[in-house]
Structure 1
């Protein structure tokens, strides 16, 4: 057998970005831009997109189009919660594709780098008596709260100022409550870091509740693409899930 007779090597498992979905059109454009960044970093890696709800393509449709190929699902979500623990694994298990589900993006030091960059873009600078509110979506799952608080700790270490978690829904404190708590501790200069993958309803509501400076969501920052590929590589060491 000559070299030209050898069968072609199989390509790498596909990477499927799993976005939540939003009625805000900026959300879809943001995750598409993030998809483009990942493709630029890893030419030759098939990178697809699927949504849990509200936007096309929906994740089951994306997985159906992949047939029986191998894929790694990377949730564009920032902590453990219902979507990460139930929705995505159930959709993956129902597909014919051989799938692995990666960990959510957060918490991670690369997110602290991205949050800091967004704050600096918005004009934030550390000053005496300053603090930051980390505004997140919120969840009833206690693990999600643990993950957000861990992210607040990572961001505090990165910024050198106190960071307090706050939530748009399903958990406390809210952004105004967090601001009040920080002011009670003598913090006069309070900014809001938007701990959201993309613009959407909750990010908009948290920005509206901010007392002053508010940063943009994480978006299609270069560090986000690096983190997605890191989660993809991590997941390749986990067992494959095959539909029953």
Structure 2
């Protein structure tokens, strides 16, 4: 094995399908980079916890958040976990989103759901951190350019508009068909909530799309060129949403 260990930092979910999706995604990452050690640590609800994963490692590690925006978990939970692992030489990658590779994956999931050119509502988890919600808005702009169709950002909690509100707005503009693009990594309560927002169709979460696996490796590769995340001045605590 060569290079620092890639530690994928996942949110965690009570939904077994969501956990299985994360594990399958990381198996794909391993297949794309034989010889790279890839471990996972969960922030909530699932073991191994991030603390447990870091405690078992030695040497160097790059933590790659499997999160689509830089909210509470990136700015608070991950630095807190790293502070308990002074034995590691560790750095933290950027969150996965926004990125053009995610636009590729989102458009593929829409096509699988039968999308045929209608306006799209990008349904993200949402955050009390305005910067994280701004990341979603930037992702909507990227997806709009990729699809050449209108795309509105929306938030399933801790932000507005909600997917249902965004759908209503588009329908008041005369669009009878509106699609939801699930801006979520894996199945769980948020994906179920998105599917009940009143859209004509809803795409599946990003899941094991190859573009997501490649993005994880890209975040890992670019991290040594960046400054290690400072543990001395964490962002003030906010509501623990993505």
* Cα separation, partners in 2 of 1:92 and 1:124, compared to 1, 3 Å: same
- Aligned residues between the structures: 231
Q: After TM superposition, give the deviation of residue 93 of structure 1 in Å.
A: 2.6
Higher alpha-carbon Rg:
1
Partner secondary structure for residue 36 of structure 1 = helix
Whole-angstrom distance in 1 between the partners of 2:154 and 2:223: 30
Distance 1:210 1:229 in 2: 35
Query: How far apart are the structure 2 equivalents of 1:27 and 1:221?
Result: 14
Correspondence list, 1:77-226, <5 A: 77-95=67-85, 96-126=87-117, 130-226=118-214
Would you say 1:238 and 2:226 are equivalent positions?
A: yes
1:242 deviates by 10
Is the CA contact 1:97–1:242 (under 8 Å) kept in the aligned structure 2? no
Asked whether the equivalents of residues 92 and 241 of structure 1 are also in contact (C-alpha less than 8 Å), the reply is no
Rounded Cα–Cα distance in structure 2 between residues aligned with 1:76 and 1:138: 15
1:121 Cα deviation (Å)? Answer: 0.5
How far does residue 243 in structure 1 lie from its aligned partner after superposition? 9.0
Contact 2:120 2:149 in 1 (8 A): yes
| Structure 1: gaps of 5 or more residues | 1-9
Deviation at 1:234, TM superposition (A): 1.0
CA distance in 2, matches of 1:164, 1:242: 34
TM-score by structure 2 length?
A: 0.92
Q: Deviations over 1:80-108 (max 9, x none)?
A: 11101111122123212111000000000
Q: Which runs of 5+ in 2 are unaligned?
A: 233-242
Q: CA RMSD in A?
A: 1.6
Could you list the structure 1 runs, at least 4 aligned residues long, displaced by more than 6 angstroms after superposition: 241-244
- 2:65 is aligned with 1:75: yes
- TM-score, normalised by the number of residues in structure 1: 0.91
Question: What's the CA shift for 1:166?
Answer: 1.1
Partners of 2:108 and 2:202 lie apart in 1 by 12
